């Protein structure tokens, strides 16, 4: 069983049980964004989390191994097309240099890690239309001189 | 005076006065990310904010008009190369489908606006290494059927 | 049943019943462009509209779920090739900066939404050759300062 | 004097006189979108219209010839980046196949011309936020068999 | 039956009957280039022509509908690679600006239509090596001011 | 003096003398398309033709050498954007495989040369709108087995 | 049977008989590079050569037709990746302008044909490491003025 | 003085003295292709060769250093456009896999070096049209197992 | 059996036997990086090494031939996306010119071979976090003048 | 003074003083690769190192600020062309998946940092030809679950 197959099995089981990603994350006691990314094959699960998920969704044999395997992360297009994902890409384009200025002003020369990293999504209700709040949290890595 | 010229003038004046972007934002009473993006030419300033900035940095004549002009937003490469900006691009690639799943589960079919949008950067001190916290806040826009 | 499968089922049923997109739109009491785009898998249908369509075309079980699912919008080429679609792309290339000037002159700094958006096609008869009239209607979204 | 130079001269003169594109179009008694596109160098002006514009803006010698010259139409990027223009590109991507279906259902096999073509922008006021209305009008050209 | 399937059926039948494209075109009383392009799926056939072709080649049921369907025109690469096709692309690259000068000098600002268009191939015998003569014939479309 | 400089000098002199490309070609007793392409720097002129052109347009010293130099042929974009040139590119895309079939059926396996090649443009008047007639004439080169 | 199928059949038969390309070329009394290219589907074989090959390798029925068919020549990537092929590409990049200078100095304005063309590979033994010797031989085609 | 400047100085001096590349190569007692490539900035010259060239062409001070500097080799386009260079690229595309088969059959797994490499151009007179003969000679480098 | 099939067979057998790449390399008495690359199909194995591997993993008949076949080396994207591989690509981008300066300063004009080449990975334990040490060892190839 | 200007000043001063990068690195008591990369503008220097360099090379006023500024790291082409740099890119292409397998087998799911990273180049003398030894040393960063 490979990553693609376990992703498909999870989506079918989630659908059949009428579970949301949030429900699954609550059961696994992990963050919803991380759980979703691991279920979509973009992160590897620690063994005990994979075990819980296999039980929760009654996934077929071989699923635990596929969930704990280290994925090759890839995406389809250099410039994403789905409007929701494109808007995030546009934010990186429009505000990329700004973030470089602001982060390096506060932290010195270096970057925010995308590996030692977490992310969260929340809803902020608003009478003029609800708002999506995305929070990224990454370790600052200073450049090293040698 | 065009956008590029006023950006150059701001950077020189900021450097001469030893101001940080945060100092400037505090003077203008606006968010640091937005102020930086407008000073880098990626957003237009309301007139009164532009006036304050012109006074603060003693910018040359014509600067106010250039700051309030509506910019054409462009970036240099489809795939950014500077490591700090690339990591953000990588986050969009790795977590793009995940965010689509999580946001649309909470809000329905639609997107997070990148126009009715704000962003903030904060430092979270940590003995194992400080962390960068980026918060995005965008209006949810549901798809319309007609 | 996924989006691609329901699209195929719709096209077969439409062909067998000799219906036009306009006929289907009239039955669903929705706009022809929107109905066509949802039938081609580029928009999600509200449940009641999907129900009507399933009845009208006697679509197989699972079609309603596939029609109401939120699509991932994608297209095949950065520069389209079919002559009809290319001409629209050419219009965006030739008149893009013009539209930016004219819209922002009337509305201020901001964009026309492609989400809170509708579109219509009409025929204008003309002795020198009929004309296609496409009307787009999108909410103006002003840029936000923060 | 070439196209780029006359475009620059027009923008300076328009700015100095505080004229809008709509004001200029009204003076020339032509459509605002067409006038703007010709002033930005993407269309050639008939001689009498160019004459009027030269008088109105007191453009330097050689402007008339540059305005009536036939332009080479080009744009900067296959996928546009400015958010206003990108949204139009996204509309072509998302609705391109839909428009092909709907137009060819009404008109037969052929295309909408982008040459024998006009376009208009209007504002529709709306308490929930004003709306941009873009109307395209192009001659239908049927494919020829021979 | 879709376009690809009918193209395959035509090629097999043509091969079995040892017919050339010219033979088929003569039977259909249409131009050889147009007939070939329609048989390769790049143009739609009028019903009576499709009927004749179905009889001539004894094509399977459903072929007529596939032949009269409006095709989505696409090609495989931005820069073609087969040497015969590449040479035509090279001609467009090398002589594109020249043709623009010469055509617009004779006709005014506008283009040659690729829709209201026909093309022919002939052999010119020559003792130093035969020559290929390609003739394109397209309606001139003047740009419209509005 | 290089190719670019002589091209500029020719265009200025042609404009000052109000000559058309056809006028120049008539004086040089060569084809109009070839003359235009050589004047735009895409072909080298034989010495006697270059001499005549230098006299006709009173070109500066060094022009003859620049006109007879062998050019490096280049064009700006893989997919051309100016509508007149794009239509020719579209013809190659839509009819490329067709031309391969038709030419190789008549001539055997090989190509039409783009080097031992000439091209002509003519106007065909037509009450429904004049037509552009482009004729290409290239030597057939058979593939060689060895 | 198409080109791809006959290529596969040839490779299997060659492998089963433990023949080298050189062996096959010797049997066919043709050059090894040409024979290999035709066996890989990149050139068409004259009938008598195809007949010999079919006998030599006992290829299945339909192979002769597939071998004599005129191929559509295509390759996978604009910039090749296999190191052996990339080095040839690098030679074209590094020495392309040099070859243009040297060939046109000797022959005048024109090109070396890649159609009326042959190529050979030989081994030059050398105590410091054997050397590969590739010889290309193409007809010079002068540009034509008209 | 950098590479670009010395290239320009060489071309001017060569032109003034009416020398061919072959003349220069004969004077330097080196191969014509190598001399041309070094004069165009694509190879570094050993000191004594650079000295001879400086004397021969009376190049300005600093030329020797620029000629012996190690160049950064670059070319303008992934797919070359000048017809002479494109034909070489086409040869790599059409015959790349063939050369891989033939070379590796003779030499084993490895490549032909493009560094320990030489190349020569010769003219083969032929009553049907002269022929260009290009010979490449590169060291075979076997892959190493470790 | 082709390369892809033997790669799949190896991965299954390795997994079933719970072997690491290091275990396999130790058995074959070859370097771990080279063994892994050959098992992933990117290098050919000498016969005796392939024999040992077939015995060790009890690979199916035909595996030895597939392992000793000379591979066509290819990778999926010009810019890799998996974060581990991208970081290596980033190192080449950021330090490429630096390595050129430092290597050519030490060795003269030439390159480091990627064919006569080996590579090793080691772990350096560190209380602040273990470190990956990659060592590349390639023959220096000087450019040749001729 | 910006990065580009200080890079130019360093190269001139280094040349005038006949210093190698190794000489400069020895004076600064830092690694040669890091020093070179900082002198080429791809890393920022700590203040004290920049001071030493300014004294050593007698750089103009403003150089220290430019050397300590945080660079925007960029490179010219997705696929590098200079043969020395291309070989490194080829290594990433050919061995990228292998390195992922070998590193993640030893360290778990994660990456080698290109920020907390150092690199060294050494010469290994060898009678069959000297060898280049490149050593990369980067912190292992495990993926985080949250």
Q: Is the pLDDT of residue C1 over 90?
A: no
Whether J113 is catalytic: yes
Q: Are A21 and A53 in contact (CB under 8 A)?
A: no
In a domain, A74, yes or no: no
Tell me if F74 and H83 make a contact (CB, 8 A cut-off): no
Tell me if J145 and A111 make a contact (CB, 8 A cut-off): no
**Chains near C, with 3+ CB pairs < 8 A?**
A, B, D, E, F
pLDDT of amino acid H25? 97
Q: Is the pLDDT of residue C42 over 90?
A: yes
Chain E residue numbers with beta carbons less than 8 Å from the beta carbon of D72 are 97, 100
| pLDDT by residue, tens only, chain J of 146 residues | 899 999 999 999 999 999 999 999 999 999 999 999 999 999 999 999 999 999 999 999 999 999 999 999 999 999 999 999 999 999 999 999 999 999 999 999 999 999 999 999 999 999 999 999 999 999 999 999 99
Question: Same domain, yes or no, for C118 and C128?
Answer: yes
For C12-25, the pLDDT digits (tens) are 999 999 999 999 99
Whether E90 is catalytic: yes
Q: Which residue of G has its CA nearest to E82?
A: G73
Which residue stretches of chain G have pLDDT < 70?
Answer: none
> Which of B42, B100, B135 lies nearest to residue A133, judging by beta carbons?
B135
Average pLDDT over chain E, rounded to an integer: 97
* Torsion angle (degrees, nearest 10) of CA D37, D38, D41, D45: 160
For B22-64, the pLDDT digits (tens) are 999 999 999 999 999 999 999 999 999 999 999 999 999 999 9
Question: Same domain, yes or no, for A63 and A88?
Answer: no
Tell me if B116 and C46 make a contact (CB, 8 A cut-off): no
Best mutation target, G77, G78, G90, to test chain J (most J CBs within 10 A): G90
| Residue A4 phi, psi dihedral angles, 5° rounding | -60, -40
Chain I residue numbers with beta carbons less than 8 Å from the beta carbon of H110 are 115
Chain H residue numbers with beta carbons less than 8 Å from the beta carbon of E83 are 90, 94
Best mutation target, H78, H85, H86, H129, to test chain E (most E CBs within 10 A): H86
How many contacts, defined by CB atoms under 8 Å, are there between E and F?
Answer: 212
Cite the active site residues of C: 87, 90, 113
Task: Show contacts of J132-135: CB within 8 Å, 24+ apart.
Answer: J132/I103, J132/I107, J132/I112, J132/I136, J132/I137, J132/I138, J132/I139, J132/I140, J133/I135, J133/I136, J133/I137, J134/I99, J134/I112, J134/I135, J134/I136, J134/I137, J134/I138, J135/I133, J135/I134, J135/I135, J135/I136
Question: C75 touching A, CB under 8 A?
Answer: yes
| Boundary-marking domain end, from D68, D92, D117 | D68
Question: A8 touching C, CB under 8 A?
Answer: no
Chain I residue numbers with beta carbons less than 8 Å from the beta carbon of J26 are none
Question: Same domain, yes or no, for G94 and G128?
Answer: yes
DSSP class of residue B70?
A: P
pLDDT of amino acid B30? 97
Which residue stretches of chain F have pLDDT < 50?
Answer: none
Per-residue buried b or exposed e for E3-34, using 16+ beta carbons within 10 Å of the residue's own CB: beebbebbeebbeeeebebebbbeebebbbbb
Q: Which residue of B has its CA nearest to D12?
A: B1
> Which of C20, C85, C99 lies nearest to residue D96, judging by beta carbons?
C85
Q: Are A123 and A132 in contact (CB under 8 A)?
A: yes
| Strand A110-124 to A131-142 pairing | antiparallel
Question: B72 touching D, CB under 8 A?
Answer: yes
Is this complex's ipTM strictly greater than 0.90? yes
For A3-43, the pLDDT digits (tens) are 999 999 999 999 999 999 999 999 999 999 999 999 999 99
> How many angstroms away from the CA of F20 is the closest CA of chain D?
14
Structure-token match 């409007």, residue found: A83
**Chains near I, with 3+ CB pairs < 8 A?**
A, B, G, H, J
Chain E residue numbers with beta carbons less than 8 Å from the beta carbon of F103 are 84, 121, 132
What is each CA distance from C106 to C16, C112, C118, E145, J101, in whole angstroms?
48, 12, 20, 22, 58
| pLDDT bracket for residue I123 (50, 70, 90) | very high
3-state secondary structure of H124: strand
For A50-68, the pLDDT digits (tens) are 999 999 999 999 999 999 9
In a domain, J78, yes or no: no
Question: Same domain, yes or no, for G63 and G105?
Answer: no
Cite the active site residues of I: 87, 90, 113
For E75-99, the pLDDT digits (tens) are 999 999 999 999 999 999 999 999 9
| Boundary-marking domain end, from D34, D68, D102 | D68
Helices and strands in chain A: count of H runs, count of E runs: 6, 2
In a domain, C73, yes or no: no
Tell me if H37 and G98 make a contact (CB, 8 A cut-off): yes
Question: I145 touching H, CB under 8 A?
Answer: yes
Tally the domains of chain F. Answer: 2
Question: Same domain, yes or no, for B48 and B90?
Answer: no
Question: Same domain, yes or no, for I89 and I131?
Answer: no
Best mutation target, F62, F64, F69, F74, to test chain H (most H CBs within 10 A): F74
Which residue stretches of chain D have pLDDT < 70?
Answer: none
> How many angstroms away from the CA of H96 is the closest CA of chain E?
14
Domain of E59, CATH number, reads 1.10.260.40
Q: CA E29 to CA D76: how far, in whole Å?
A: 46
Tell me if C94 and F83 make a contact (CB, 8 A cut-off): yes
Chain F residue numbers with beta carbons less than 8 Å from the beta carbon of D73 are 81-83
DSSP letter for each residue of G80-119: --SHHHHHHHHHHHHHHHHHHHHHHHHH-SEEEEEEEEEE
Question: Same domain, yes or no, for H63 and H8?
Answer: yes
pLDDT of amino acid A25? 97
Cite the active site residues of D: 87, 90, 113
Comparing C-alpha atoms, which of E89, H90, F115, F95 is closest to residue G73? H90
> Which of G89, G107, G133 lies nearest to residue H130, judging by beta carbons?
G107
Chain I residue numbers with beta carbons less than 8 Å from the beta carbon of J99 are 33, 84-85, 88, 121, 134
Tokens of F92: 């190659």
pLDDT of amino acid I26? 97
Do the chains I and J touch each other, judged by at least 3 C-beta pairs below 8 angstroms?
yes
Domain of C125, CATH number, reads 3.30.1160.10
| Boundary-marking domain end, from G37, G68, G99 | G68
| pLDDT by residue, tens only, chain H of 146 residues | 899 999 999 999 999 999 999 999 999 999 999 999 999 999 999 999 999 999 999 999 999 999 999 999 999 999 999 999 999 999 999 999 999 999 999 999 999 999 999 999 999 999 999 999 999 999 999 999 99
Average pLDDT over chain C, rounded to an integer: 97
Whether H87 is catalytic: yes
pLDDT above 70: percentage of residues in chain F = 100
Question: Same domain, yes or no, for E59 and E21?
Answer: yes
CB atoms within 10 A of CB F143: 20
Do the chains B and J touch each other, judged by at least 3 C-beta pairs below 8 angstroms?
yes
- In what side-by-side order are the strands of the sheet with E131-142? E110-124, E131-142, F131-142, F110-124
Inter-axis angle of helices A21-28 and B83-107, to 10 degrees?
110
Q: CA C53 to CA C13: how far, in whole Å?
A: 11
In a domain, E77, yes or no: no
Question: Same domain, yes or no, for G46 and G90?
Answer: no
pLDDT of amino acid A18? 95
For B55-104, the pLDDT digits (tens) are 999 999 999 999 999 999 999 999 999 999 999 999 999 999 999 999 99
In a domain, G78, yes or no: no
Q: Strands of C89-130 (E only): list them.
A: 110-124
Q: pTM of this prediction?
A: 0.95
Range of the structural domain that residue G101 is part of = 83-142
Question: Same domain, yes or no, for I17 and I62?
Answer: yes
Best mutation target, J87, J108, J117, to test chain I (most I CBs within 10 A): J87
pLDDT of amino acid G1? 86
pLDDT of amino acid E16? 95
Question: Same domain, yes or no, for A48 and A95?
Answer: no
Cite the active site residues of B: 87, 90, 113
Give me the half-sphere count of Cα atoms (radius 13 Å) on the Cβ side of residue B71: 23
In a domain, B77, yes or no: no
Query: What is the sign, positive or negative, of the torsion defined by CA atoms of B35, B39, B40, B46?
Result: positive
Bridge partners of residue C120, in order along the sequence = C135
In a domain, J73, yes or no: no
Comparing C-alpha atoms, which of J35, J23, J41 is closest to residue J119? J35
Tell me if G144 and F115 make a contact (CB, 8 A cut-off): yes
Best mutation target, H3, H74, H77, H142, to test chain J (most J CBs within 10 A): H74
In a domain, J124, yes or no: yes
Q: CA A41 to CA A73: how far, in whole Å?
A: 8
Question: Same domain, yes or no, for C32 and C12?
Answer: yes
J-proximal residues of H, 85-124, CB under 8 Å: 114-115
Question: G83 touching I, CB under 8 A?
Answer: yes
Q: CA D64 to CA D47: how far, in whole Å?
A: 7
> How many angstroms away from the CA of B11 is the closest CA of chain J?
12
Q: CA I30 to CA F59: how far, in whole Å?
A: 72
pLDDT of amino acid J78? 96
Q: CA H139 to CA H120: how far, in whole Å?
A: 15
For G50-61, the pLDDT digits (tens) are 999 999 999 999
Q: CA D6 to CA D40: how far, in whole Å?
A: 9
């Amino acid at each position: 069983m490979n990553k693609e197959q376990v992703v498909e099995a999870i989506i079918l089981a989630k659908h059949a049980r009428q579970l949301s990603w949030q429900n699954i994350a609550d059961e696994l006691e992990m963050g919803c964004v991380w759980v979703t990314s691991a279920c979509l094959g973009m992160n590897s699960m620690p063994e005990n989390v994979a075990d819980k998920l296999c039980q929760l969704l009654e996934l077929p044999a071989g699923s635990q191994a596929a969930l704990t395997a280290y994925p090759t992360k890839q995406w389809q297009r250099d410039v994403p097309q789905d409007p929701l994902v494109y808007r995030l890409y546009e934010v990186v384009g429009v505000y990329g240099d700004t973030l470089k200025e602001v982060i390096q002003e506060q932290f010195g020369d270096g970057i925010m890690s995308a590996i030692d990293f977490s992310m969260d999504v929340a809803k902020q209700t608003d009478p003029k239309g609800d708002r999506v709040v995305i929070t990224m949290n990454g370790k600052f890595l200073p450049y090293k001189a040698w």
